[in-house]
């Protein structure tokens, strides 16, 4: 007669079996759980850290996001922070950045390296044949857009790079910024014996030139190497101790010379820094948002806009690299959706947001056409990750001007007014021209957009001590474009 286990051991066996099934299920989930890698990039101060913080905050808080379909339909059940998948990339300091914004009304500190965060989004699938609960792992990577500028170096020789960079420093408007570096260049003989101290001095003078360009009216960095201003972990490293030399019509570099030392460093920068970044990080990105501070550039005048356009064009070359046979041997980009976002739209009244988006579209038009040709879907949006202002109107004589009100940061000034960081002010920030084309040809007087840097908004706290969600503009639209199809 077959013997049956008594019920208690039977129960144990059952739970062991279900434990095994659970771990099998877990292993299966790890294998099959869909993962999406979202890159957040843009040039310095474009708003990457604020955007990433706000995005994570809204997903975790499940705030109402009408334009983000999966959320609007109530299908996102929960979003949680998960363990970091990569040990070699620092974790994005979400909690610290959020605390700065909400508790201290401070913008997060500037960051100069990559950071990454993994979220798990539990959602309800609607598709008829696979309806039911599902989970998407979302890896968000915040990295400096300057690093993408280095792509153009990969197939360039040291001789060509030197020639091009020295020639570009002669552009009108660059004379003052370039003068000290050009003087240092003129004082060295590239054919003289290699000398470490000289190499260091020249690298420093070149770095100072790049820094001066960024502080000048052009306001953005378009001249590679990207790590000279955004070194990340390489700050102070010999990998960055090189610079272009004035090589004239030289076609051969003598061995043992200063030029040979610079050339060797340049080549090793490409193989040890640039290529690994594209191969190991950039190539794995599936969705990309490129943040652009369009308003600052528009206010800087046509030269600043032209410079920004060139920088974005170079940045976007990276997404198109699969079509270049030389580059595709090193890496093949995978991003199938790229969203350009004009950030800080809360600086202007919403009636100007269309104009801002049109201006952005003109600015990235060339790059967009190329990226689309490479097979990616491209979108544009004007947004504010954290809305620091509200809308109001100001009477000037008998006309009512559409204005924004917020708390300008301490020390900000408009005309003769210096703000104390506590007082609210209503500001008419000026208007973008109805035809954004004219902004490129001087249709907007530089400095005529008057917006101070605002402090983050005051966030109300309820009786239970829970603070309200951060306000934003069109962040939900951005999320829908970037993630919507992966939450079907």
Ligand X SMILES: Nc1nc2c(ncn2[C@@H]2O[C@H](COP(=O)(O)OP(=O)(O)OP(=O)(O)O)[C@@H](O)[C@H]2O)c(=O)[nH]1
Residue 454 binds which entry of ligand X, Mg ion, none, CB below 5-8 Å type-dependent: ligand X
Residue 68 binds which entry of ligand X, Mg ion, none, CB below 5-8 Å type-dependent: none
> Measured from the CB atom, is 143 or 278 closer to Mg ion?
143
Shortest distance (Å) from residue 116 CB to Mg ion: 13
> Measured from the CB atom, is 49 or 407 closer to Mg ion?
49
- Using CB under 5 A, which residues numbered 53 to 112 contact Mg ion? 111
Q: Which of 139, 140, 141, 142 is nearest to 33 (CA)?
A: 139
Give the range of 41-49, 92-100, 371-379, 415-423 binding Mg ion by CB under 5 A: 41-49
> Measured from the CB atom, is 214 or 358 closer to ligand X?
214
Shortest distance (Å) from residue 162 CB to ligand X: 28
Using rule CB under 5 A, residue 343 touches Mg ion: no
Q: Which of 289, 228, 354, 307 is nearest to 50 (CA)?
A: 289
> Measured from the CB atom, is 44 or 71 closer to ligand X?
44
Shortest distance (Å) from residue 125 CB to ligand X: 32
Using rule CB under 5 A, residue 344 touches Mg ion: no
What gap in Å lies between CA 105 and CA 349, rounded to an integer? 22
Instruction: Determine which residue in the list 37, 46, 48, 338 makes contact with Mg ion, applying CB under 5 A.
Output: 48
Shortest distance (Å) from residue 229 CB to ligand X: 10
What gap in Å lies between CA 436 and CA 294, rounded to an integer? 12
Shortest distance (Å) from residue 98 CB to ligand X: 12
> Measured from the CB atom, is 282 or 454 closer to ligand X?
454
Residue 113 binds which entry of ligand X, Mg ion, none, CB below 5-8 Å type-dependent: none
- Where along the sequence are the contacts to ligand X (CB under 6 A)? 42, 44-50, 107-108, 110-111, 144, 343-344, 346-347, 384-386, 388, 453-454
Shortest distance (Å) from residue 107 CB to Mg ion: 10
Name beta bridge partners: 392: 403
Using rule CB under 5 A, residue 288 touches Mg ion: no
> Measured from the CB atom, is 139 or 357 closer to Mg ion?
139
Using rule CB under 5 A, residue 241 touches Mg ion: no
Pair 335, 282: CB distance under 8 Å: no
Shortest distance (Å) from residue 441 CB to ligand X: 27
Interior angle at CA 365, CA 363 and CA 370, nearest 5: 135
Instruction: Kindly give the interhelix angle for 475-483 and 48-61, rounded to the nearest 10 degrees.
Output: 80
Shortest distance (Å) from residue 45 CB to ligand X: 4
> Measured from the CB atom, is 75 or 113 closer to ligand X?
113
Give the range of 40-48, 211-219, 402-410, 427-435 binding Mg ion by CB under 5 A: 40-48
> Measured from the CB atom, is 92 or 158 closer to Mg ion?
92
Q: Which of 96, 104, 95, 50 is nearest to 421 (CA)?
A: 104
Shortest distance (Å) from residue 347 CB to ligand X: 6
> Measured from the CB atom, is 214 or 486 closer to ligand X?
214
Q: How far apart are the first and last CA of the chain?
A: 54
Query: Rule CB under 5 A: which residues touch Mg ion?
Result: 48-49, 111
């Amino acid at each position: 007669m077959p013997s049956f286990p008594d019920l208690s051991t039977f129960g144990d066996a059952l739970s062991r079996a279900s434990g095994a099934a659970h771990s099998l299920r877990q292993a299966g989930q790890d294998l099959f759980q869909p993962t999406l890698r979202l890159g957040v990039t843009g040039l310095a101060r474009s708003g990457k850290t604020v955007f990433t913080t706000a995005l994570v905050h809204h997903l975790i808080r499940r705030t109402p996001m009408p334009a983000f379909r999966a959320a609007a339909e109530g299908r996102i059940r929960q979003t949680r922070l998960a363990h970091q998948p990569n040990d070699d990339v620092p974790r994005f300091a979400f909690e610290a950045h959020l605390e700065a914004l909400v508790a201290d009304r401070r913008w997060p500190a500037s960051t100069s390296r990559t950071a990454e965060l993994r979220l798990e989004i539990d959602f309800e699938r609607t598709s008829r044949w696979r309806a039911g609960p599902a989970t998407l792992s979302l890896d968000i990577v915040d990295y400096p857009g300057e690093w993408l500028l280095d792509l153009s170096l990969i197939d360039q020789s040291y001789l060509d790079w030197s020639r091009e960079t020295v020639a570009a420093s002669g552009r009108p408007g660059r004379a003052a910024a370039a003068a000290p570096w050009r003087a240092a260049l003129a004082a060295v003989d590239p054919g003289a014996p290699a000398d470490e101290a000289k190499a260091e001095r020249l690298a420093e003078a070149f770095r100072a030139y790049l820094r001066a360009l960024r502080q000048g009216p052009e306001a953005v960095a378009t001249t590679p190497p990207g790590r000279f201003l955004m070194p990340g972990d390489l700050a102070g490293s010999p990998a960055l101790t090189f610079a272009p030399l004035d090589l004239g019509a030289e076609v051969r570099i003598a061995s043992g010379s200063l030029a040979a030392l610079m050339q060797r460093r340049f080549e090793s920068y490409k193989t040890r820094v640039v290529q690994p970044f594209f191969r190991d990080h950039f190539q794995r990105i599936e969705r990309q948002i490129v943040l652009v501070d369009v308003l600052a550039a528009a206010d800087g005048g046509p030269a600043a806009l032209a410079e920004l356009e060139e920088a974005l064009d170079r940045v976007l070359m990276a997404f198109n690299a699969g079509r270049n046979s030389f580059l595709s041997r090193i890496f093949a980009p995978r991003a199938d959706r790229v969203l350009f976002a004009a950030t800080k739209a809360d600086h202007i009244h919403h009636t100007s947001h269309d104009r801002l988006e049109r201006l952005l579209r003109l600015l990235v038009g060339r790059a967009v056409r190329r990226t689309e040709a490479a097979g990616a879907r491209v979108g544009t949006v004007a947004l504010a990750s954290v809305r620091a202002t509200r809308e109001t109107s100001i009477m000037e004589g008998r006309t009512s001007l559409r204005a924004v009100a917020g708390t300008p940061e301490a020390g900000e000034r408009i005309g003769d007014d210096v703000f104390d960081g506590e007082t609210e002010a209503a500001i008419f920030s000026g208007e973008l021209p109805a035809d954004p084309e004219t902004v490129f040809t001087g249709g907007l007087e530089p400095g005529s957009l008057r917006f101070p840097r605002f402090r983050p908004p005051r966030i109300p706290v309820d009786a239970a001590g829970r603070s309200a969600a951060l306000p934003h503009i069109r962040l939900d639209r951005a999320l829908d474009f970037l993630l919507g199809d992966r939450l079907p």
